[in-house]
Amino acid sequence: MGRSDVLIVLGASFSNHTGISTKKKIIQVDTDRMTLGKFHPVTVPLWGEIGATLALLSERVSDVERLHVREDIAKRWAYWRNRKTLYCDHLDAKGRMHPALVFEHLSGLAPDDAVMCVDVGNNTYSYGRFFECKNQSVLMSGYLGSIGFAFPAATGAWAAVGEDRKIISISGDGGFGQYMGDFTTAVKYNINITHILLNNEELGKISKEQKGSQFPVWQTSLHNPNFAEFAELCGGKGIRVSHPDELHDALAAGLAFDGPTIVEILTDPMQT
């Protein structure tokens, strides 16, 4: 966004966390007039239906080859892949994995049409940075701070399309801990959800916020059960991953199981 000439924003607003320069030229399109320029100044507010607006724009925009832009993107892509490879090889002092490795494997294993429900916190940042989407649908709560969103959202997604599509939810230990009782409901009704749980034994995002505000880290550590054993006690399937060599097969087994599953992965709390 920082290097763009203009931003075309379709059916989306901004938030108070949006880090886009007010000097950027922005075209915002929405059917709701009240969202146009509500949270962020825009150059051209367009009140209208997105499909019709894009059809008109496409008639007026000519093709221009911008080789320097393509080269710049290729360099950035190569840099990102190199960094991702380095992260995938990382283990902390306790032998816990970088989340990049989790999403490297999940990118290859998740069905292309899966519905993926992500939570709030570092686990979601890691998903955004390292999961390579194909045609999956992604459900998230945005900036609402609704920790614990993922598993209940996955239950709703299963009720809507679970007969036809794989449902995957992703959270940290803090988020799942707030709604872990719902797993018994999933077992009772054989709700086919694979829950990927990144267990770093703390509220990692809160720790980072405290550090960023120059405060000491306070009351963010967690005392967790073995979530994989919890899943088994509830009558579902639980798999615990503590070593990188176990990760691919564990994720594959969790996705293949017909019923509620928790794949618990021990991850480094300092990494996103």
CB neighbour list of residue 229: distance below 8 Å, 6 or more residues apart? 238, 240
Contact 227, 161 (CB under 8 A): no
Residue 204 token pair: 């990692």
In a domain, 76, yes or no: no
Describe the crossing of helices 204-212 and 122-130 by its angle, rounded to 10 degrees. 100
Cα separation, 68 vs 64, whole angstroms: 12
Same domain, 152 and 252: yes
Q: Which of 20, 37, 60 is the C-terminal boundary of a domain? A: 60
**Domain membership of residue 21 as a residue range:** 6-60
Same domain, 215 and 260: yes
Cα separation, 161 vs 9, whole angstroms: 28
- pLDDT for 143 equals 64
Contact 113, 165 (CB under 8 A): yes
Same domain, 181 and 55: no
Same domain, 110 and 169: yes
| Domain count of the fold of the chain | 2
Same domain, 150 and 260: yes
- pLDDT for 230 equals 98
In a domain, 158, yes or no: yes
In a domain, 154, yes or no: yes
- pLDDT for 214 equals 81
- pLDDT for 209 equals 77
In a domain, 65, yes or no: no
Same domain, 135 and 246: yes
Same domain, 101 and 30: no
Runs of H (alpha helix) within the chain:
50-60, 67-88, 99-109, 122-130, 150-161, 173-178, 182-188, 204-212, 227-234, 244-256
Per-residue pLDDT of the chain (272 residues; tens, 9 = 90+): 777 889 999 998 887 767 888 889 999 999 999 999 998 999 999 999 999 999 999 999 888 888 988 899 999 999 999 999 999 999 999 999 999 999 999 999 999 999 999 999 999 999 999 999 999 999 998 767 789 999 999 999 999 999 999 999 999 999 999 999 999 999 999 999 999 999 999 887 877 878 777 888 888 888 999 999 999 999 999 999 999 999 999 999 999 999 999 999 999 988 88
pTM, two decimals, is 0.85
In a domain, 95, yes or no: yes
In a domain, 107, yes or no: yes
In a domain, 74, yes or no: no
CB neighbour list of residue 140: distance below 8 Å, 6 or more residues apart? 117, 118, 124, 149
Same domain, 102 and 168: yes
Domain containing 188 — which CATH number? Answer: 3.40.50.970
- pLDDT for 204 equals 78
Q: Give phi and psi for 199, each to the nearest 5.
A: -100, 105
Cα separation, 203 vs 205, whole angstroms: 6
Task: From 122, 167, 197, 196, select the one nearest 259 (Cα to Cα).
Answer: 167
Same domain, 16 and 120: no
- pLDDT for 82 equals 94
